[in-house]
Amino acid sequence: MVLVRSLFVPGPTNVPDTVRKAIDVPMEDHRAPDLPNFILPLFEDLKKVFKTKTGQVFLFPASGTGGWEASMSNTLNPGDKVLAARFGQFSHLWINLCERLGLEVQIVECEWGTGVPLEIFGEILAADKTHSIKAVLATQNETATGVKSDIANLRVVMDEAKHPAMLYVDGVSSIASVDFQMDKWGVDLAVSGSQKGFMLPAGLAIMAASKKALEASKKVTMRRCYFDFKDMIATNATGYFPYTPPMTLLRGLRASLDRIFDEGLENVFERHSFLAEGVRRAVSAWGLNLCAKSPQWYSDTVTAIVVPDGRDANDVIKHAYNRYGLSLGAGLSVVAGKVFRIGHLGDLNELMLMSAISGAEMAMRDVGILEVKPGSGVAAAQEFYRIEGQALPK
């Protein structure tokens, strides 16, 4: 029986001990007179992570999906048109949510393994002379396929088309792990969740809205109650919430932000990119392909690995779990059975990742993927981490 389990799904991620201890506190009074001393700095510090000075941060008791719903329902009207590309399970689910909320989604179908098609978006926006498109949706990191999209240049494309649509970014598996610049990129709604880069249990939708989005929220007719920005803004202003906040998660969030700032936000990004490259070296040494079609799409928080034709990636995943206690991410929907994923975001270092690479390698050989040579991926990652790591900040 496997007693020790290791978690390499791309969320939930490992919760560091300091964060776990911060969560393990007696229940407290969420209307205490001194609570604002704790809450108000949390909002200020989250703005640093989103890189926004003018935006407003929201913390809803929800997962990332709740953050999507809050974003759409606070800022758009039923029937409004939004532009989105579908290239993985998460971009798909976001589109699905929009449709179920009564929005009209102009969908650009893209090959899974690619990301936001900037040129096509540019053409669509330039052709939309009446500005019927109210929002452009972009998944910064498509967790299902290990694909990152270029949000900075999406903003450039929108500006070049002189289109006034708002820009909504799903950063659930990227914010706090890779660079995100809300103000500079002109992002109007940014959504994240607690259980990925923020290294917390699931339960907080962590999001931010621009001034433009807040202005729009004053006029919209879509219904919402629990997720209403207005109630949040009014109570957050004094350091409270409109309903009982998950205080333990907020205590954990404090510890998580402290850890991120101790390491340095930019160092956190660099670590993620470094760890990701080691995983890609291993995959290449295995002789396998990534789901991401080319380097421009490579994600620094999750790698989706395509198993050889005729093999079932779920066999690898099941065996890795049962035999080695290793949780790998499954392929979802269109890529189910074709890929397995190694999540490499949050509280990780080289040695932890070596265990995942080694475990995946053993599991693949165990289920008969013998073209993967023993030690090949491990050696490639080792050498990369050992040699390239010398240049990392101490």
Positions touching ligand PLP (CB under 6 A) are 11, 63-65, 90, 139, 141, 143, 170, 172-173, 193, 202
Residue with smaller CB distance to ligand PLP, 281 or 341: 341
The CB-of-207 to ligand PLP minimum distance in angstroms stands at: 12
- Mention every residue, 6+ apart, whose C-beta is less than 8 A from residue 170: 64, 68, 90, 91, 94, 137, 138, 139, 140, 191
Residue with smaller CB distance to ligand PLP, 324 or 340: 340
CA gap 145, 92 in Å, rounded: 12
The CB-of-382 to ligand PLP minimum distance in angstroms stands at: 29
The CB-of-16 to ligand PLP minimum distance in angstroms stands at: 19
* Residue nearest to ligand PLP as judged by C-beta position: 64
- Mention every residue, 6+ apart, whose C-beta is less than 8 A from residue 237: none
The CB-of-173 to ligand PLP minimum distance in angstroms stands at: 3
Residue with smaller CB distance to ligand PLP, 76 or 204: 204
Residue with smaller CB distance to ligand PLP, 65 or 273: 65
Residue with smaller CB distance to ligand PLP, 172 or 364: 172
Residue with smaller CB distance to ligand PLP, 197 or 377: 197
Tokens 């998950």 appear where?
Answer: 246
The CB-of-7 to ligand PLP minimum distance in angstroms stands at: 14
Tokens 């659930």 appear where?
Answer: 172
Enter the DSSP assignment of 205.
E
* SS3 annotation, 330-344: ECCHHHCCCEEEEEC
Q: Which residues pair with 148 in a beta bridge?
A: 141
User: What is the radius of gyration, based on Cα positions, of the chain?
Assistant: 21
CA gap 192, 253 in Å, rounded: 13
The CB-of-175 to ligand PLP minimum distance in angstroms stands at: 10
Phi, psi of 104 (to 5 degrees): -95, 115
